[in-house]
Copies of this chain bind each other. A is one copy, B any other.
Amino acid sequence: MASNPRKKNPSETDDNIIPLIKGRRATSYDVARLAGVSQSAVSRCFKPGSSISGKMRERVMKAAKKLEYQPNAIARGLITQRSNLVAVLVSGRLNLYYPEALFKITEQLSSAGLRALLFTVDSEEDAETVIEQAWQFQVDGVISASHMSREQYKILEKRQIPVVFFNRYFADHPNTVVYCDPAEQVSDLVEQLYELGHRRAAIIKGPEKNMVSVERTRIVTESLTRTGIEIAASVQGDFSYESGAAGFQHLQTLDGDAPTAVICINDMMAMGCMDEARFVLGLNVPADLSIVGFDGIGMGQFSSYELTTIRQPIGRMSEAAVKMIADRVDRPDQSHEKRVFEGAVIPGGSIARAPT
């Protein structure tokens, strides 16, 4: 019979007394035998909120301790249909510039009793295989801070795996999202630039298909136009330092008056831009050129940069993402929710009155 406990186990045929054979981990049966109770009693002892007497609990726990028994989460997951695993999808390339969120999310998941199964996704094909992997490992949910196509999302939806998007979403599709909307702060900052006399600005954008980049660019463009600052140019970057430098170099080659301010769609590019302006072109930042970034990464505040930027509340966003995935795991039919956080302007010293 299947339920005949450990019939083939050598520890039983050889010697019923020795409970833990070297090299084999103790199971609930081993604990039950040592404690002289049933296996299910052991199981109950490790499930919070089970009805169990103090005496029983004590006996079991003593035996468990002796055998260093810890319930097998894999076996538990098989029967409960809950793995307590959450796939965390990050972009290896982009996250290098911004690892805070990953660590915060991992910590938060841990406090929620969930484990982070980490996947790096740097291409659409990666996403494909990662989703299959996550499916094989029966993850209870997915936190996606990397690229994911609509089709891929639909697969997860069909399989009823809850997904929380971190800083990206599908506008035309219901989904659960934690997001930072810097519109208000962009508006403030752009007005400040206007008052400082800036009338021509340039934008260095992030990756073409990156949602954060596209949204920030849109907001900046709108805000500049509304305020009455002309957009001299808008060049493509890829979020890296090098692309910020290259972007600024590219700006120099364009016709027309030079912009007095450059808005970079993330901090890394802003630093590249600043260094290019200062060290290659010999400009003075901010006297000759004002530079603004996005993200609020730690490095931006180093004395060499003192970047004026718009910070995302990463801690609160990570917390929210984990809270939301945990909720959706418990109640998958729950309606979708989008939690939008505001940014915050970090003043810095990279903007000043426009040169006359």
Contacts and interface: CB of A to CB of B under 8 A. Distances in A.
Contacts of A117: 85, 115-118
A110 interface: yes
B275 A25 contact: no
A137 interface: yes
Interface in A102-123: 102-103, 106-107, 110, 115-120
A99 B110 contact: no
Interface residues of A, number: 58
Contacts of A135: 70
A279 B303 contact: yes
Given A73-B136, A74-B137, A107-B92, A241 B304 contact: no
Contacts of A70: 132, 135-136
Interface in A35-78: 68, 70-75, 77-78
Number of copies: 2
Contacts of A3: 2
A138 interface: yes
Contact of A99 (B25, B75, B95, B106): B95
11 contacts: A23-B160, A25-B159, A70-B135, A85-B117, A92-B103, A92-B106, A96-B100, A117-B117, A117-B118, A118-B118, A304-B305
Q: Which 10 A-B pairs have the closest CB atoms?
A: A2-B2, A275-B303, A304-B304, A99-B99, A92-B103, A73-B136, A279-B303, A118-B118, A116-B118, A73-B137
Given A116-B117, A278-B303, 7 more contacts: A25-B159, A68-B159, A74-B74, A74-B137, A90-B103, A271-B302, A274-B304
